[in-house]
Amino acid sequence: MERIKVEESVEYLVNLIDIEPEIALILGSGLGELAEEIKESTVISYSEIPNFPVSTVKGHAGQLVSGELKGKRVIAMQGRFHYYEGYDIEKVTFPVRVMKFLGADKLIITNSAGGVNRNYNVGDLMIINDHINFMGTNPLIGPNEEEFGPRFLDMSEPYSSNLITAAENAAKEIGINVRKGVYLATTGPNYETPAEVRCMARLGADAVGMSTVPEVIVANHMNCDVLGISCITNMAAGILSESLDHKEVIETTNRVKDDFIDLITKILELI
């Protein structure tokens, strides 16, 4: 059932996009600007793509941008879907299936996250080397489409070690420090309580956020190599004395944006 929907979207898109993308990009809030650097781009609004969900969050453009970036054929989601917006988990991950069917076998996914590791600082960039799914749901629940991937998916290397190495090399080349750590996903939309943050730290999380994990599970299901990078926009609740505010998240995103974009651009050059 879902396969037919994916095929309908793909069919619509292949007629509009003249390149076969090799890399899919999911750009978190603030990083949408990167999509503006894509050359010879084709821009397609989510609302015109059959079966595609439509973005509700302010500041998320809600369009697919495909073209060339640093010599690579890319397709970028400018604006993504969060489970807390009320979409079914299948809808949240639907675009990943579509981008893979269009040809992308690598996925670079970015997000903003709260720092759980007390050694981290606001503004750090963190390469995700593993994750903990605390969303209490899973996009693979339901009948399995064998054409998509296996029923019981191996998740021994959810984030590609080759891409992690490339990201570390890229950071070195442009002279920025990056962290490497475990991303824990909650549904949100509330930020965590201090007790939850202490619990997450004990469980091995370095950062916490409200996205990414569903898309990464689906990308793995489709045998796509994944690179995930978080911007630590704030320290998670209870670590510093101040309360959390979405404004801080936006401010940090804007402050770090140039470095973040430089990093992704350099990674594209190297992979």
Binding site for ligand HPA (CB under 6 A): 112-114, 191-192, 208-210, 233-234, 236, 244, 249
Residue closer to ligand HPA (CB basis): 174 or 240: 240
Residue closer to ligand HPA (CB basis): 100 or 179: 179
Q: Are 30 and 250 in contact (CB under 8 A)?
A: yes
Least Å from the CB of residue 74 to ligand HPA: 25
Least Å from the CB of residue 114 to ligand HPA: 2
Name, in order, each residue with C-beta under 8 angstroms of 59's C-beta and a sequence gap of 6 or more: 29
Is the peptide bond prior to 189 cis by the omega test (within 30 degrees of 0)?
Answer: yes
Using alpha carbons only, how large is the chain's radius of gyration in Å?
17
Residue closer to ligand HPA (CB basis): 163 or 208: 208
Residue closer to ligand HPA (CB basis): 201 or 249: 249
Q: Is the dihedral of CA 114, 117, 121, 124 positive or negative?
A: negative
Residue whose beta carbon is closest to ligand HPA:
114
Q: Which two tokens stand for residue 77?
A: 């989601």
Q: Are 270 and 166 in contact (CB under 8 A)?
A: yes
Residue closer to ligand HPA (CB basis): 41 or 117: 117
Residue closer to ligand HPA (CB basis): 135 or 170: 135
**Interstrand relation of 178-185 and 23-27 (parallel, antiparallel or unpaired):** unpaired
Least Å from the CB of residue 232 to ligand HPA: 8
Select from 87, 135, 101 the least CA-distant residue to 13.
101
Q: How far apart are CA 241 and CA 228, in angstroms?
A: 29
Least Å from the CB of residue 22 to ligand HPA: 29
Least Å from the CB of residue 98 to ligand HPA: 25
Least Å from the CB of residue 247 to ligand HPA: 12
Residue 163, Cα to own-chain centre: how many angstroms? Answer: 14
